[in-house]
Amino acid sequence: MPVISPSAFAPPAANGPGATPPLLLREQVRRLERAHSAERPGRTAAPLGLPEIDRLLPDGGLLTGALHEIEAGPAPSGRVAPHDGAALGFTAFLLSRLGPGTLLWCRQPSGADAPLYAPTIAAWFDPARLLMVTARREDDLFWAMEEGLRTPGIAAVVGETRGADPTAGRRLSLAAEKNGVPALLLRPQPAPPQSVCATRWRVASAPSSDLTQARWQVELRRNRFGMPSAEESPSWLLEWNDETCRLAVVSQAQHGSAGAPQRQRLVG
């Protein structure tokens, strides 16, 4: 009787000739996802007007028929400040890059951020476009978001939430894709990620010597259909100028030092 060694069923060694390097495997998966995304009818992208970021995003911008996550990152002091406003401001910036129509914003009475302030929002878009919905339960919040994605005339749907419901995330992703309307989940702090989201951003305030020029450190934690980059989690330092009403990438933005350990994107 022939003898079969247990090693015959073992996977190939990491350095063996048949092994696929993790980076190469991730790139192959990304190419398949990008090709699949391009075949979906009605899917478009809205450029952010920031070439350094747009070049990494699919089709040069934020996918409209998709789910996106924005979470608050640690402040310069190292702690996550729910009322910091950086993540909220970045969300308003993303909304300003989308087409015309009503912007549905869903939140709970105990939302992490203070209620939206119209004079501040006016820097990004007309507050008259905003339709606020307050939901007592998180299930009601997700239901309102899903219904909004199906409603004609809605340009985007935003939901402030603390939890991560995989089932709700999949339903929001499918509704966004079917109707070509972007869904944004705004989180006050890092939470279990939704693996179905197209992008995931972490936004925190950064020090600035000029009070009229707010700065945000923006990290792209997930870029499902986009291009890979030198780092798994590319980061940019963005600066808002009140005089020009423009957001720009600061030239000395830190993309990670050569000696620092490489950070890994949360893939969900």
pTM of the model: 0.76
Q: Which residues contact 235 (CB under 8 A, 6 or more apart)?
A: 217, 218, 219, 220, 253, 254, 255, 256
CA distance 221 to 200: 5
What is the rounded average pLDDT of the residues 213-218? Answer: 88
Ranges assigned E (strand) in 115-261: 130-134, 154-160, 183-187, 199-206, 215-223, 235-241, 246-249
Side-chain-side CA neighbours of 112 within 13 Å: the count stands at 22
Question: What is the model's pLDDT at position 162?
Answer: 80
**Is residue 135 over pLDDT 60?**
yes
Question: What is the model's pLDDT at position 41?
Answer: 44
Question: What is the model's pLDDT at position 78?
Answer: 63
Nearest Cα neighbor of 112 from 70, 78, 168, 173 is 70
Question: What is the model's pLDDT at position 231?
Answer: 58
Single-letter amino acid, residue 87: A
> What confidence category does residue 61 fall into, taking pLDDT thresholds of 50, 70 and 90?
very high
> What confidence category does residue 254 fall into, taking pLDDT thresholds of 50, 70 and 90?
very low
- The angle, 0 to 180 degrees and rounded to 10, between the axes of the packed helices 138-150 and 166-179 is 10
Least confident segment among 64-73, 104-113, 131-140, 197-206: 104-113
12: DSSP letter: P
What is the rounded average pLDDT of the residues 148-169? Answer: 90
Question: What is the model's pLDDT at position 258?
Answer: 33
Count of beta carbons in the 10 Å neighbourhood of residue 129 = 15
Which range, 3-7, 143-147, 219-223, has the best average confidence (pLDDT)?
143-147
**Is residue 33 over pLDDT 70?**
no
Nearest Cα neighbor of 228 from 86, 2, 20, 33 is 33
CA distance 189 to 203: 10
Question: What is the model's pLDDT at position 268?
Answer: 32
Nearest Cα neighbor of 29 from 41, 16, 20 is 20
Question: What is the model's pLDDT at position 207?
Answer: 83
**Is residue 1 over pLDDT 60?**
no
**Is residue 193 over pLDDT 70?**
no
Mean pLDDT, the chain, as a whole number?
77
Question: What is the model's pLDDT at position 148?
Answer: 97
What is the rounded average pLDDT of the residues 37-53? Answer: 75
Least confident segment among 151-155, 162-166, 230-234, 254-258: 254-258
